């Protein structure tokens, strides 16, 4: 039974609604947010569909910890190693933030692959989502480049030699390989320019690209909606089933709304 | 997939098995690049044949449509017929032009549009080009290296190896530290002869190590002209090996096992006033003979992993300027 709201309560609600309405009237942002958060998704989306958001979360963790690390890291060949040591050993919680960024990098890449595997195995890359797959591939490449350039920054022996090998590997690409390697090195040999260049790419260039592409990726996810799983009666190309189909054999018996039949 | 008719919904090509053959061809090519050239050729053939069949398969529908189905009224509307929103319902940003006079002004609009885009592109280009140039060109210009003084001839007893490490560019600091394996071969036609092997692995650039004892305690630091410092460590290698992926080289730097693609690079050297100077490095495909009698097949310096001779060297037709 709906109770009448007290006058006090009504006033309070008006007070809260006012700034929200103000913003909505001038920007439409609230409506947009509602559209984004309350949009419809297929009834049988599952945990597999959360892998994309998990990847996004890992990316946000990388961004935040990375920004904080940048406050103490010094991209100078004479100081880089020492500044990393300082972050790890001397700064309060420096070890934690650095650890989050270092391990989080692997988590991000692994999650990207899991997400990609789910999209692939669900056939979710098919019409009309091909473009989102292509954007995803670019994201994958940029993500791995982010890992490659970040690995050099501690400027210790592992970092140095791993990068030597990585750059030379690029150098063996046919035709333009030698030029690519020299561009990455910033000269004929790996040297001081290499560190500054990798720093700039790791901090500015590649994250910029990632932000832009993730924006596009999510725009397309929202515009097209997520696809339902392949076993779904709502899957693309399937006849619409109003009642449970009779006598269908198989391991999985789809129910009317995509849940499993009991 | 029988969907050609009324053209509602997604328009997909019919399923086809040719891509499988196409993929097999690609795999054949890639595997062939590793094992043998004939396999590459076979792979290329398979790829082309199946690629052709695939394309033919995927386009049959279009081609058939071109032949028979073109109705008099032009192609059917591609979308589900959506009623246009009446102007008074949607929110038009600008009133649609409704009289002749306004339509006449269109060419001017077009001109302004073009001018804006053109100017914008020009400004964008003017700003971007120097920035791009700045990002790319410095890596390719002024890459000259100075000769390095690595001590007097007396520092290199005849017939013995020394590990020489030095800074190629003292201003750049430790990153420019280089290591060379140097052996005095004794006089050749009255002039001193040296074997100077670079320690950069020609697989992917790791530091190659001497296979044999090194006498760290007999390390000597010699000072060259211009204040260079060179560390000389005696060593008795019987070969060289790389820690990264197990590349192995004989005492002249020839590849004997593992992933490297040619022999170890060498340094040019010169002797002035009784001092040994190391110059540029160059690449070597193969060394025949030993010591001062060695015959070296010499090439312009190439990056690690790049073939300098044989068919594979065609993959690297141009090298960055030195
Ligand atoms: C920075 C990395 C990435 C982020 C943050 C990201 C984020 C997301 C999110 C949040 C979704 C919503 C649905 C879901 O979570 O499954 C999604 C969907 C999708 N992603 Fe990604 N993604 C990334 C990388 C990739 C990669 C590497 C690929 C494939 C090459 C890819 C292809 C797709 C496709 C095709 C969809 C649509 C799936 C559907 O509608 O069911 N994404 N992505
Ligand atoms: S770098 Fe020497 S074997 Fe790979």
Q: Inspect the interface and report whether the beta carbons of A171 and B140 lie closer than 8 Å.
A: no
B interface test, pick of A78, A157, A187 with most B CB neighbours within 10 Å: A187
Q: How confident is the model at residue B151 (pLDDT cuts 50, 70, 90)?
A: very high
Residue A226 touches chain B, beta carbons under 8 Å? no
DSSP secondary structure of A207-230: HHHHHHHHHHHHHHHHHH-PPPPT
- Rounded Cα distance between A171 and A183, Å, is 10
Residue B146: its chain A contacts at CB < 8 A?
A: none
B78 or B107: whose pLDDT is higher?
B107
Q: What is the mean pLDDT of chain B?
A: 85
pLDDT at A254: 52
* Level-2 CATH architecture, domain A47-227: Up-down Bundle (1.20)
Q: Nearest CA of chain A to the CA of B309: how many Å?
A: 14
pLDDT of A3 higher than 50: yes
pLDDT at B318: 87
Facing B306 at nearest CB: one of A171, A186, A189:
A171
Using pLDDT thresholds of 50, 70 and 90, give the confidence band for residue A40. Answer: confident
* Residue ranges with strand state E in B199-257: 209-211, 220-223, 229-235, 239-241, 248-249, 255-257
What domains can you pick out in chain B, each with its CATH number? 18-105 (no CATH), 148-315 (2.102.10.10)
Looking at residue A240, what is its pLDDT? 64
Closest chain A residue to B316, measured at CA: A175
Check CB contact of B140 with chain A, cutoff 8 Å. Answer: yes
Residue B269: what pLDDT? 94
pLDDT tens by residue, B158-216: 999 999 999 988 888 888 899 999 999 999 888 899 999 999 999 999 999 999 999 99
Residue nearest to ligand 1 atom 27, measured at CA: A136
A185 touches B: beta carbon within 8 Å: yes
Task: Give residue B123's pLDDT.
Answer: 96
- Shortest-distance atom of ligand 1 to CA A213: 1
Nearest-CA residue of chain B relative to A188?
B143
**Pairs of residues, one from chain A and one from chain B, whose beta carbons lie less than 8 Å apart:** 82
> Can you tell me the mean pLDDT for A60-74?
97
Q: Which is the closest atom of ligand 2 to the Cα of B246? A: 3
Tell me whether residues B305 and A193 touch, CB distance under 8 A: no
Does position B275 have pLDDT exceeding 50, yes or no?
yes
Task: Say how far apart CA B295 and CA B298 lie, in whole Å.
Answer: 9
Q: List the domain boundaries for chain A.
A: 47-227
pLDDT at residue A159 is higher than 80: yes
Q: Identify all chain A residues contacting B204, using CB atoms and an 8 Å cutoff.
A: 164-165, 168-169
Q: Is A123 left (phi over 0), alpha (psi -120 to 50) or beta?
A: left
Distance (Å) from CA A218 to ligand 1 centroid: 8
Is residue A192 pLDDT above 50, yes or no? Answer: yes
A246 pLDDT tier (thresholds 50, 70, 90) = low
Indicate the angle between helix axes A130-152 and A94-121, nearest 10 degrees: 150
pLDDT, residue B74, reads: 47
Question: What pLDDT is recorded for position B156?
Answer: 94
Please tell me what DSSP assigns to residue B313: G
pTM of structure: 0.77
Q: Which residue has the higher pLDDT, B37 or A250?
A: B37
Chosen from B34, B133, B320, B322 to mutate, greatest number of chain A CBs within 10 A: B320
Q: Measure A13 CA to nearest chain B CA, in Å.
A: 32
Q: Quick check: CB of B241 below 6 Å from ligand 2?
A: no
Atom of ligand 1 nearest to the CA of A113: 27
Q: What is the pLDDT of residue A262?
A: 39
- Which range, of A207-216, B63-72, B155-164, averages the lowest pLDDT? B63-72
Q: Is pLDDT above 60 for B88?
A: no
Determine which of A107-121, A128-142, B48-62, B271-285 has the lowest per-residue pLDDT on average. Answer: B48-62
Beta strands B229-235; B220-223: pairing state: antiparallel
Q: Which pLDDT does position B59 carry in this prediction?
A: 81
The DSSP element (H or E) to which B180 belongs, if any, is: strand B177-188
- Which range (A1-10, A115-124, A217-226) has the least confidence? A1-10
Residue B3 has pLDDT above 50, yes or no: no
Contact B174 A188 (CB under 8 A): no
Question: In the prediction, which pLDDT does B231 show?
Answer: 94
Looking at CA atoms only, how far is residue A249 from chain B in angstroms? Answer: 23
Residues 6 or more apart whose Cβ sits within 8 Å of residue B149: B224, B225, B226, B228, B230, B275, B276, B277
The fraction of chain B above a pLDDT of 90, given in percent, is 58
Residues 98-127 on A with a CB inside 8 Å of B are 127
CB contact under 8 A, B305 and A169: yes
Give whole-number Cα distances, B20 to A225, B15, B16, B54, in Å.
31, 11, 9, 10
Average pLDDT over residues B93-105: 58
Q: Tell the residue nearest (CA) to atom 4 of ligand 2.
A: B245
Question: What residues pair up with B255 in beta bridges, in sequence order?
Answer: B249
**Residue A174 and residue B304: Cβ atoms within 8 Å?**
no
pLDDT category of residue B4 using cuts at 50, 70 and 90: very low
The one-character DSSP state at B97 is P
According to DSSP, the residues that pair with A92 across neighbouring strands are: none
Pick A186's closest partner by Cβ from B139, B168, B174: B139
Of B12, B172, B303, the CB nearest to A192: B172
Q: How far is B189 from chain A (nearest CA, A)?
A: 35
pLDDT interval class at B68 (50, 70, 90): low
In angstroms, the separation between the Cα of residue A110 and the nearest Cα of chain B is 25
Kindly state the average pLDDT of the residues A150-158: 96
pLDDT of res. B309: 92
pLDDT attached to residue B90? 53
Q: Give the pLDDT of residue A236.
A: 60
d(CA A220, CA A131): 8
Q: Considering only B16-30, B84-98, B279-293, which range has the smallest mean pLDDT? A: B84-98
Average pLDDT, chain A: 90
From the list A141, A139, A119, A143, the residue with the least C-alpha distance to A129 is A119
């Amino acid at each position: 039974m709906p109770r009448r709201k007290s006058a006090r309560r009504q006033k309070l609600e008006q007070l809260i609604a006012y700034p929200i309405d103000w913003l909505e009237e001038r920007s439409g942002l609230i409506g947009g947010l509602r559209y984004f958060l309350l949009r419809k998704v297929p009834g049988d989306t599952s945990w597999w569909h959360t892998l994309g958001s998990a990847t996004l979360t890992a990316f946000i963790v990388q961004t935040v910890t990375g920004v904080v690390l940048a406050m103490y890291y010094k991209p100078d060949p004479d100081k880089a190693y020492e500044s990393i040591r300082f972050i790890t050993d001397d700064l309060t919680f420096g070890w934690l933030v650095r650890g989050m960024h270092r391990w989080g990098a692997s988590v991000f890449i692994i999650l990207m692959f899991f997400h990609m595997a789910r999209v692939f195995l669900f056939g979710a890359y098919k019409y009309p989502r091909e473009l989102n797959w292509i954007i995803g591939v670019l994201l994958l490449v940029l993500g791995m480049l982010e890992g490659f350039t970040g690995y050099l920054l501690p400027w210790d022996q592992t970092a140095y030699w791993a990068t030597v090998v990585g750059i030379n590997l690029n150098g063996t690409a046919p035709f333009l390989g030698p030029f690519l390697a020299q561009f990455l090195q910033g000269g004929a040999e790996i040297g001081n320019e290499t560190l500054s260049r990798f720093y700039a790419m790791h901090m500015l260039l590649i994250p910029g690209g990632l932000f832009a592409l993730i924006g596009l990726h999510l725009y397309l996810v929202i515009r097209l909606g997520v696809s339902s799983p392949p076993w779904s009666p709502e899957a693309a190309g399937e006849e619409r089933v109003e009642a449970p189909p009779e006598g269908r054999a198989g391991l999985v018996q789809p129910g009317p709304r995509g849940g499993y039949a009991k | 997939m029988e969907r050609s008719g009324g053209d509602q919904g997604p328009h997909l090509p019919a399923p086809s098995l040719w891509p499988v053959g196409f993929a097999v061809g690609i795999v054949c090519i890639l595997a062939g690049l590793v094992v043998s050239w004939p396999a590459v050729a076979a792979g290329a053939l398979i790829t082309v044949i199946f690629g052709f069949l695939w394309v033919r398969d995927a386009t049959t529908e279009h081609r058939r449509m071109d032949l028979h189905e073109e109705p008099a009224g032009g192609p059917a509307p591609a979308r589900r017929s959506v009623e246009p929103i009446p102007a008074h319902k949607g929110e038009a940003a600008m009133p649609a032009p409704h009289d002749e006079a306004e339509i006449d002004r269109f060419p001017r609009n077009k001109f302004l549009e073009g001018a804006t885009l053109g100017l914008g592109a020009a400004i964008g280009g003017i700003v971007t080009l120097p920035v791009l140039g700045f990002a790319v060109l410095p890596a390719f210009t002024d890459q000259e290296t100075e000769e390095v003084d690595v001590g007097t001839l007396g520092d290199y007893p005849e017939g013995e190896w020394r590990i020489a490490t030095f800074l190629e560019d003292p201003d750049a600091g430790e990153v420019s530290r280089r290591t060379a394996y140097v052996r005095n071969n004794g006089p050749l036609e009255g002039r001193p002869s040296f074997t100077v092997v670079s320690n950069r692995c020609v697989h992917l650039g790791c530091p190659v190590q001497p296979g044999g004892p090194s006498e760290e305690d007999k390390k000597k630091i010699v000072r060259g002209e211009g204040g260079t410092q060179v560390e000389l460590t005696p060593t008795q290698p019987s070969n060289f090996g790389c820690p990264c992926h197990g590349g192995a080289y004989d005492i002249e730097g020839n590849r004997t096992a593992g992933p490297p693609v040619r022999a170890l690079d060498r340094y040019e050297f010169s002797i002035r006033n009784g001092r040994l100077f190391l110059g540029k490095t160059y690449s070597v495909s193969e060394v025949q003979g030993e010591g001062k009698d060695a015959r070296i097949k010499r090439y312009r310096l190439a990056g690690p992993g790049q073939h300098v001779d044989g068919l594979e060297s065609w993959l690297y037709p141009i090298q960055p300027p030195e």
